[in-house]
């Protein structure tokens, strides 16, 4: 049983969306803005619509759809540049007569897929309890399951269970992102997917599966993009387009990637063979099952 519930006669629902970069959006299901006891303001949900929240005594996760009009607290630019990717949404109930932030917590959601249609968007949110439904434990694959480096290009730290390229293993001092990070500027543009830096001299596919992030220009400071391919001539192609047009002279930083192969990548490219986490020599089920047993 909850230790405290909001007054049912003046009950109102509120939501606080917190992006990974600290951006906050506060909403209240009320005709006017609500000022909480701590001074924070929750804007009226005019321009927003929640599909509703179910509360059960099971461990099945709840899902909520948030539909809204752009520029009513959330902009097209923020959605296009991934500001609210994996953001947390804290839902609670309070009284419109004496509003208190987080008075009766109702759940925590994670923002997922967002669809843009004209000047409106629809964001899917899943209860954080869904994490308990994820499979855990070691999985044996031919390719390495770990993530290269222990942080991303924009400085976010990667969980240690996925970044074992840098230990603690037999080689705890594995590849350091600062040893492989390069910088440069654009000399030619093909599209928002592809640009050229003629000064690059790395071998074909050196940066494939890596990341590139702009430090100047219209895309400066936006999230890094995954690299689809790179060539000796300095042509960099990404999986997704940058939100804004790339221009000659735009400066960038970039790191190579790992394609999860033992010989070509882990040993040949990074000299990190002891930390390879794949099992390329393990026979498949069809191979092991092909050997019959004698009578």
CATH of the domain at 202: 2.40.30
What's the confidence (pLDDT) of residue 194?
A: 96
Look at residue 295 and tell me if it is in a domain: no
Look at residue 287 and tell me if it is in a domain: no
Look at residue 140 and tell me if it is in a domain: no
Look at residue 40 and tell me if it is in a domain: yes
Band of pLDDT at residue 146, cut at 50, 70 and 90: confident
pLDDT tens across 62-72, in order? 666 677 766 66
Looking at 91, 112, 133, the residue that finishes a domain is 133
Of the listed ranges 4-13, 207-216, 247-256, the least confidently predicted one is 4-13
Structural domain count of the chain: 2
Decide: pTM greater than 0.75. Answer: no
Residues 127, 177: one domain? no
CA dist 30 and 4 (Å) reads 21
Residue 60: closest CA among 134, 135, 127? 127
Look at residue 221 and tell me if it is in a domain: yes
User: Widest CA span of the chain, in angstroms?
Assistant: 82
**133: three-class secondary structure by DSSP:** helix
CB atoms near residue 273 (< 10 Å)? 13
**102: three-class secondary structure by DSSP:** coil
Look at residue 71 and tell me if it is in a domain: yes
Domain of 121, in residue numbers: 8-133
170 has pLDDT over 50:
no
What's the confidence (pLDDT) of residue 195?
A: 97
CA dist 76 and 88 (Å) reads 19
Q: Are 161 and 138 in contact (CB under 8 A)?
A: no
Residues 95, 205: one domain? no
Residues 33, 97: one domain? yes
Look at residue 107 and tell me if it is in a domain: yes
167 has pLDDT over 60:
no
Residues 214, 111: one domain? no
What's the confidence (pLDDT) of residue 43?
A: 87
CATH code of the domain containing 60: 2.30.110
Residues 35, 129: one domain? yes
Residues 184, 126: one domain? no
pLDDT tens across 53-100, in order? 655 555 566 666 677 766 667 777 777 777 888 888 898 999 999 999
CA dist 117 and 79 (Å) reads 12
What's the confidence (pLDDT) of residue 189?
A: 96
Helices and strands (H, E) in the chain, number of each type = 3, 16
Residues 128, 16: one domain? yes
Band of pLDDT at residue 40, cut at 50, 70 and 90: very high
What's the confidence (pLDDT) of residue 59?
A: 57
Look at residue 24 and tell me if it is in a domain: yes
């Amino acid at each position: 049983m909850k230790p405290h519930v909001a007054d049912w006669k003046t009950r109102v629902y509120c939501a606080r969306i917190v992006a990974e970069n600290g951006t906050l959006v506060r909403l209240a299901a009320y005709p006017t803005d609500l000022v909480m006891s701590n001074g924070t303001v929750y804007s009226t949900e005019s321009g927003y619509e929640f599909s509703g929240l179910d509360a059960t005594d099971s461990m099945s996760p709840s899902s909520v759809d948030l539909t809204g009009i752009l520029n009513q607290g959330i902009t097209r630019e923020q959605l296009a540049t991934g500001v609210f990717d994996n953001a947390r949404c804290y839902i609670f109930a309070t009284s419109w007569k004496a509003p208190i932030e987080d008075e009766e917590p109702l759940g925590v959601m994670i923002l997922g897929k967002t669809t843009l249609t004209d000047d409106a968007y629809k964001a899917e949110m899943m209860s954080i309890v869904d994490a308990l439904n994820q499979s855990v434990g070691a999985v044996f694959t031919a390719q390495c399951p770990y993530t290269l480096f222990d942080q991303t290009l924009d400085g976010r730290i990667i969980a240690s269970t996925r970044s074992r390229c840098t230990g603690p293993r037999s080689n705890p001092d594995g590849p350091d992102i600062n040893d492989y990070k390069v910088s440069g500027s654009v000399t030619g543009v093909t599209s928002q997917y592809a640009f050229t830096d003629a000064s690059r001299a790395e071998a074909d596919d050196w940066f494939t599966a890596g990341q590139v992030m702009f430090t100047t220009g219209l895309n400066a400071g936006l999230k890094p993009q995954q690299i689809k391919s790179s060539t000796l001539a300095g042509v960099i192609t990404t999986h997704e387009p940058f939100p804004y047009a790339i221009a000659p002279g735009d400066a960038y930083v970039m790191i190579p990637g790992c394609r999860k192969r033992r010989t070509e990548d882990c040993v040949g490219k990074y000299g990190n063979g002891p930390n390879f986490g794949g099992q390329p020599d393990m026979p498949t089920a069809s191979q092991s099952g092909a050997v019959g047993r004698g009578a």
